[in-house]
Each structure stands twice: as structure tokens, then as C-alpha cells.
């Protein structure tokens, strides 16, 4: 099992709108691609929140081949939607993790 982790720091001024959009639009759109078996969104604790809030959004995928298909066919457009909506208001990075236990 592969965890596709997207960590996002979102500006305070758009935080509430972003969180609502993630829960009601973006994450459902990602899940609708059919490449992931589940997801969760978690707030990162212990961070200075003066200039924004940090979240980790994790999607579970059966294997790297499936994730690769998602990154080719769907990720660019979905990432662009996020960038267009919150341009200049976030930073993000992605990591891949393999579940071993």
C-alpha cells in the first residue's frame, strides 16, 4: 500500500475557505478518479500558525503503478485547479510512503 501525502501550508486569511473547499470539492474530485482506496486530512500540530495552518492530506493507493497512472492522467489538472483558486496563498510538497506494517 502506498500513501500519497500532500502537505500544504495555507494562509490564515483563506484557511476556512480552503478547508471547506478541500473537504467538499478537491478531495472528492481526487477520490472520484478511482485510483485511491481512501483518504484522510490531518492538521499538523506544533507549528507556528501566525502566517498559516499546515495540513497533511493522505491518499491510499494499492501500488506505484496505480499512483503513476493518477499522476499522468489526473494530477496535473487537479493541482492546477488548486493553484488557480489559491494562487500565492499556499506552499505545498508531496511525499510518497510505503506502508510496511
Domain assignment of residue 86, yes or no: yes
Task: Determine, yes or no, domain membership for 1.
Answer: no
List the chain pLDDT tens, one digit each, 101 residues: 999 999 999 999 999 999 999 999 999 999 999 999 999 999 999 888 888 999 999 999 999 999 999 999 999 999 999 999 999 999 999 999 999 98
Give me the CATH number covering residue 81.
Answer: 3.30.70.100
Is residue 73 in some structural domain? yes
The burial class, CB within 10 Å (0-12 / 13-18 / 19+), for 29 is: middle
Count the domains in the chain.
1
Q: What is the pLDDT of residue 47?
A: 82
Residue 42 within a domain: yes
Domain span holding position 58? 7-95
Q: Does residue 100 lie in a domain region?
A: no
Task: Flag whether 2 is in a domain.
Answer: no
Domain-embedded: residue 27: yes
| Angle, alpha carbons 45-50-52 (nearest 5°) | 65
**pTM assigned to the model:** 0.93
Amino acid at each position: 500500500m502506498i500513501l500519497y501525502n500532500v502537505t500544504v501550508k495555507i494562509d490564515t486569511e483563506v484557511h476556512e475557505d480552503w478547508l471547506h473547499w478541500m473537504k467538499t470539492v478537491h478531495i472528492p474530485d481526487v477520490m472520484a478518479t478511482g485510483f485511491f482506496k481512501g483518504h484522510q486530512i490531518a492538521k499538523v500540530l506544533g507549528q507556528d500558525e501566525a502566517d498559516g495552518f499546515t495540513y497533511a492530506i493522505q491518499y491510499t493507493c494499492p501500488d506505484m503503478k496505480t499512483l503513476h497512472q493518477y499522476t499522468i492522467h489526473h494530477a496535473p489538472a487537479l493541482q492546477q485547479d488548486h493553484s488557480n483558486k489559491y494562487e500565492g496563498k499556499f506552499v505545498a510538497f508531496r511525499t510518497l510512503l510505503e506502508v510496511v506494517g
